[in-house]
Amino acid sequence: MLGTYVRELDLLSLEEAVRKMTSFPARIYNFERKGLIRPGMDADLVVLDPLNVASCATVESPRTYPQGIPHVLVDGEFVIRDGERTDATPGASLRS
């Protein structure tokens, strides 16, 4: 979404694209502690480089990590740090 619809086609602002991937679906599925950064919310965060973020996955290699995402935190704990996986496995499955 960020590469195609924000950078290449200029159909969405970065902010609107992020909203469509975070707070918008969280509200639809009634995940009250997800999708926003504010006190009392779960600390699930993705740090990305908006100029370089892109999917590297293909049909042949669907589990390939994207580029331009150096850090991912789940429940406030790094699961990706400096582009490398950590051994952390925080979080749980969600049900709406």
Q: Is the pLDDT of residue 96 over 80?
A: no
Q: 67: which residues sit within 8 A by CB, 6+ positions away?
A: 52, 53, 54, 56
Q: What is the pLDDT of residues 40-78, one digit of tens each?
A: 999 999 999 999 999 999 999 999 999 999 999 999 999
User: Does residue 94 fall inside a structural domain?
Assistant: no
Tell me which DSSP letter residue 30 carries.
T
The candidate with the shortest Cα–Cα distance to 83, out of 93, 69, 94, is 69
Question: Do 52 and 84 sit in the same domain of this protein?
Answer: yes
Number of domains in the chain: 2
Question: Do 29 and 62 sit in the same domain of this protein?
Answer: no
Question: Do 31 and 67 sit in the same domain of this protein?
Answer: no
Q: What is the pLDDT of residues 21-49, one digit of tens each?
A: 999 999 999 999 999 999 999 999 999 99
Question: Do 23 and 50 sit in the same domain of this protein?
Answer: no
Question: Do 61 and 82 sit in the same domain of this protein?
Answer: yes
Q: Is the pLDDT of residue 94 over 90?
A: no
User: Does residue 95 fall inside a structural domain?
Assistant: no
User: Does residue 75 fall inside a structural domain?
Assistant: yes
* Phi, psi for residue 72 in degrees, rounded to 5: -135, 130
Which residue range(s) make up the domain with 34? Answer: 1-38
Q: 65: which residues sit within 8 A by CB, 6+ positions away?
A: 56, 80
Going by pLDDT thresholds of 50, 70 and 90, the confidence category of residue 80 is: very high
User: Does residue 93 fall inside a structural domain?
Assistant: no
